Structure 1
Amino acid sequence: MRRALARWLSRTPPPAVLASGYLALVVLGAVLLLLPPMTRQPITLMDALFTSTSAVTVTGLAVIDTELVLTFWGQLVVAVLIQLGGLGLMTIAVLVWSALGLPVGITQGTYLREDLNQTSYVRLTRLVWTIFRVVIVAEIAGAMLLCLSFMPNHGLAQGLWHAVFHSVSAFNNAGFSTFSPGLTGYALDPIVNVVIPALFIVGGIGYVVVSDMWTRVFWRGWSLHTRLMIIGTAVLIVLGVGLTAALEWSNPRTLGQYDSWVARMTVAWFQGVTTRTAGFNSTDIGGLHDSTSLLYMALMIIGGGPTSTAGGLKVTTIVVMVLATIAFLRRRTEIWAFGRSIALGDVLKAMALISIASAVIFTAVFLMALSHDGEFIDIAFEVSSAFGTTGLSRGYTAELSDFGRIVIMVVMFLGRVGPLTLGFFLATRMMPRVRYPAGQVHLG
């Protein structure tokens, strides 16, 4: 058995091994959730699989009420699945190996490199320990601060658990909440509106960026990746918050229910920044205008940063494509930013990611529209949320059939593991034996 496993690992590409690991974790989580102590009422196998998939992929879409259906032990299982899925399986494994004093070999380094989306083996172990320190500090600090809001309303023990769960869920950009209505009851709470966004922004911006900002000189010492992520994230936050306020200002189901402009901007702030990655809601998502929903779909698909707890296409992928478009319009043969050029291979990778993601989203929306009678905007929003592993919903998750749940689970899985992994399975590696003369293709 051990030899067969070793032979399979040696012959199987790292993306396939990692995808298999995440799939095994999903199955294990589903089995645990089916145990009697985990729920207050029996749930189906499909309920357990969907919940486990949503937790491992740090999405947050739910077909059962986390507060009313799951017991403390069930919620604990979900929190552990979120933590494992957010950190990544290889990150956890390397932490265990390092704690036991075992060296990280070439094979483990290869898997870790794929899991963290890195192109080099350099400083991988150091990056893992940086991740560990960031996670511990952020989640403990977040839980302690959230206790100030949750304990007065729910008591010492229950308030502490709500704080810990939301801290883990927020940092890992999961969007799961132990409150049935989400965070709508804390829409104007200053601590929640600062701590929760701080957690998912730090978790979603990427560990490499956090390490650069912590250890290197401001701006000049930062890498090109860090600079692009900071600027891209800032632009998306401003657009998300600003357009949310502009589009929903007079909507009585969302911002318009508040008389104060401060209250409206507070809700616009929280909902505008949580949309790309975390999936918490402090207002009625089903009450959004269609224009706002379309904006949120774009933000969810973009997602967060590489080597982070967020899903989606990633901010740097979009930034690279924008830079490539600008270079084309200016008739430049080289793509650059901040005095550094961007390799053609990175542009091709971004194109592949966007192409495969578009195909996945289109196919999922087509299958859902074919098999469900709901509003098209609700279906497209659900698929976008699943691919971006965001977890926001216009109230359509409960309407999914078993086939629809399977489609959404596949999309969540692909959104977390990465479209390139799907492309890896579809592609065959063939060395070109013949070179052909260049031909002309008319585009546009």
Structure 2
Amino acid sequence: MALLIRIGDALTASHQRMMHSWPISPPLLLIAGFLILILVGTALLKLPLSVDAPISWREALFTATSAVTVTGLVVVDTGPTFSVWGEAVILVLMQAGGLGLMTFAVMALLSLGGRIRGQNHLVASGYYNETHPRDVLRTAKVVVKLALVIEGVALVPLALVWVPEHGWMQGLWWSLFHTVSAFNNAGFTLSPDSLMAYTGHPVINTVIPALYLIGGFGFIVIMGILDYRPSRQLDINVKVVLFGTLVLSLMGGAMIYMLESDNPATLATLPSLSDQLWASWLQATTPRTAGFNTLDISAMTQPTSLVLMLLMFIGAGANGTGSGIKVATLFVLLSATWTYIRRRREPTLFSHTIDTTTLLKALAVTVMAVLGTFMGTLALSITEDADLLTVAFEATSALGTVGLTQGLTSELSGWGQMIVMMMMFVGRVCPLTVAYLVGSAFASSRDSTKTELHIG
């Protein structure tokens, strides 16, 4: 971990020395990179050796977009449709999309004057808005190394489950594919029913959620956890993400259990209480933009669907592989609301004052997410023959890059597929882009005495 910290310091120094040699705007870098990945992925998935059953160009484009934006919505079943080569293409697209966003988040942080230090906090350096390609490559190496270590550790227990079931080659491939899919919050699986065959399996319901929760924490939070020492406090960003994740997971799991325990199409069909609790746990955590399911989403009650939509809208932690408005954004808005109710002047979280820039980021990201969800729901309600809740659920899932569906994705019209693809792309790049633009506009006037939470 000391090596990672030194690399972070070196990145900042390198950024200050070479920022004028080839300036690249991080948002443009992110958008261009994602577009290139999608187009290349589409071409590769359309090759005859990538499929076992023919697919159209639009289906290839939809699959590539879903993989790069790590959403998990599919118009064709991944396992039965694609060959091993095609599945490998999807795996690479998921890894590149998830780690690409995490790399961008760190680079945006550095370009706004942030620095990763041993004390797990960020210090303004005074240089803004430009990023050198060498910085991007070095940052990407650190992010990739950390991700590969986490994925490598998780691969072992999954292999102990799937190798006995499928044999060595297929079992290891299943383990690798689902490890990458989970860590990057992609939600792609090689089974048409996602993880429903493992509803009560302790290993699957532990390792898979651990992967997408850790991936959703983000690079800065993971470093903060690994670098924690009893002699100093955790960084405010680490506290908010961990506390928010715990609260949302426990409350979401309890609500799903209470709302679905009598539903004969979901929890009531499971043979034991432990199976019901495992299913409630996974379904409460997977809307954090992971997209896996062990219950039939289309059979859930309307109240449960609304709970899942709220969790999908919130999403994961900032700087991670997940999307949504992010946990920190939610708690910043809740803190501001509580401050207003109490007639106080400045909102605080864990005794830290929240600065104006963070509040503006939270408001901007949330307002745009609300408008995007509304516009997507409106558009799909025009093009698709489905009830409003199903359409709204699909729009929320697409914009949050979650991947959960009540069955509408496979029945989308051509226009509907285009709308969902656009929502997946916007939902992936927009939150961090907005946070970066707001942060860059106010970076020079940032009050260093107030805590800035990572938003977007």
The TM-score by the shorter chain falls in which range?
A: 0.7 to 0.9
CA deviation vs aligned residue, 1:226-260 (integer Å, no higher than 9, x gap) = 11111111110011111110100011111000232
Partner AA of 1:421 in structure 2: T
The residue that corresponds to 1:75 in the other structure is: 87
How far residue 181 of structure 1 moved from its aligned partner, in angstroms, is: 1.2
Partner AA of 1:48 in structure 2: A
Contact persistence 1:21–1:89 (CA under 8 A): no
The residue that corresponds to 2:120 in the other structure is: none
Q: 1:12 to 1:146 in 2, by over 3 A?
A: closer
**Aligned with residue 144 of structure 1, among 148, 156, 173:** 156
Contact persistence 2:106–2:219 (CA under 8 A): no
**Which runs of structure 2 are paired with 1:222-301 in the superposition (5 Å)?**
222-301=234-313
Q: 1:425 to 1:53 in 2, by over 3 A?
A: farther
CA deviation vs aligned residue, 1:168-214 (integer Å, no higher than 9, x gap) = 00011100001111111111111101110111111111121111111
The residue that corresponds to 1:185 in the other structure is: 197
Paired with 2:428 and 2:30, the residues of 1 have a C-alpha distance of 11
Contact persistence 1:276–1:296 (CA under 8 A): no
Paired with 1:82 and 1:31, the residues of 2 have a C-alpha distance of 16
**Which runs of structure 2 are paired with 1:311-326 in the superposition (5 Å)?**
311-326=323-338
Q: 1:128 to 1:421 in 2, by over 3 A?
A: closer
Q: Could you state the TM-score of these two structures normalised by the residue count of structure 1?
A: 0.85
The residue that corresponds to 2:227 in the other structure is: 215
Question: Would you say 1:38 and 2:50 are equivalent positions?
Answer: yes
The residue that corresponds to 1:399 in the other structure is: 411
The residue that corresponds to 2:113 in the other structure is: 120
Partner AA of 2:107 in structure 1: R
Contact persistence 2:102–2:219 (CA under 8 A): no
How far residue 133 of structure 1 moved from its aligned partner, in angstroms, is: 3.5
Contact persistence 1:61–1:392 (CA under 8 A): yes
Paired with 2:94 and 2:287, the residues of 1 have a C-alpha distance of 18
Question: Would you say 1:47 and 2:59 are equivalent positions?
Answer: yes
Q: Could you state the TM-score of these two structures normalised by the residue count of structure 2?
A: 0.83
Q: Name the SS for the 1:181 alignment partner.
A: coil
The residue that corresponds to 1:106 in the other structure is: none
The residue that corresponds to 1:95 in the other structure is: none
Paired with 1:85 and 1:381, the residues of 2 have a C-alpha distance of 23
The residue that corresponds to 1:377 in the other structure is: 389
Q: Name the SS for the 2:395 alignment partner.
A: helix
Q: 1:387 to 1:118 in 2, by over 3 A?
A: farther
Contact persistence 1:175–1:279 (CA under 8 A): yes
Partner AA of 1:329 in structure 2: I
Partner AA of 1:203 in structure 2: G
Paired with 2:58 and 2:202, the residues of 1 have a C-alpha distance of 38
Q: 1:127 to 1:30 in 2, by over 3 A?
A: closer
Q: Which moved more, 1:174-183 or 1:261-270?
A: 261-270
How far residue 89 of structure 1 moved from its aligned partner, in angstroms, is: 6.4
Paired with 2:362 and 2:102, the residues of 1 have a C-alpha distance of 24
The residue that corresponds to 1:345 in the other structure is: 357
Contact persistence 1:216–1:222 (CA under 8 A): yes
The residue that corresponds to 1:435 in the other structure is: none
Q: Name the SS for the 1:67 alignment partner.
A: helix
CA deviation vs aligned residue, 1:337-374 (integer Å, no higher than 9, x gap) = 22221101110111111111111110110011011111
Q: Name the SS for the 1:348 alignment partner.
A: helix
Contact persistence 2:316–2:326 (CA under 8 A): yes
The residue that corresponds to 1:310 in the other structure is: 322
How far residue 128 of structure 1 moved from its aligned partner, in angstroms, is: 5.2
Paired with 2:39 and 2:231, the residues of 1 have a C-alpha distance of 44
Contact persistence 1:303–1:312 (CA under 8 A): yes
CA deviation vs aligned residue, 1:131-165 (integer Å, no higher than 9, x gap) = 33331121111111101111111111101100000
Contact persistence 2:183–2:214 (CA under 8 A): yes
Paired with 1:146 and 1:169, the residues of 2 have a C-alpha distance of 13
RMSD: 2.3
Contact persistence 2:380–2:391 (CA under 8 A): yes
**Aligned with residue 27 of structure 2, among 15, 18, 30:** 15
Q: 1:80 to 1:128 in 2, by over 3 A?
A: closer
**Which runs of structure 2 are paired with 1:356-371 in the superposition (5 Å)?**
356-371=368-383
**Which runs of structure 2 are paired with 1:165-204 in the superposition (5 Å)?**
165-204=177-216
The answer for unaligned runs of 5 or more in structure 2 is 1-20, 118-134, 442-456
Partner AA of 2:187 in structure 1: G
The answer for unaligned runs of 5 or more in structure 1 is 1-8, 92-109, 430-444
Paired with 1:273 and 1:118, the residues of 2 have a C-alpha distance of 32
How far residue 72 of structure 1 moved from its aligned partner, in angstroms, is: 0.2
Partner AA of 1:235 in structure 2: V
Contact persistence 1:207–1:308 (CA under 8 A): yes
Paired with 1:359 and 1:239, the residues of 2 have a C-alpha distance of 26
Aligned length: 400
Paired with 1:207 and 1:49, the residues of 2 have a C-alpha distance of 29
Paired with 2:414 and 2:302, the residues of 1 have a C-alpha distance of 27
Paired with 2:145 and 2:370, the residues of 1 have a C-alpha distance of 36
Contact persistence 1:219–1:227 (CA under 8 A): no
Question: Would you say 1:154 and 2:166 are equivalent positions?
Answer: yes
How far residue 17 of structure 1 moved from its aligned partner, in angstroms, is: 3.0
CA deviation vs aligned residue, 1:99-118 (integer Å, no higher than 9, x gap) = xxxxxxxxxxx99522x697
Partner AA of 1:262 in structure 2: S
How far residue 399 of structure 1 moved from its aligned partner, in angstroms, is: 1.1
How far residue 303 of structure 1 moved from its aligned partner, in angstroms, is: 0.5
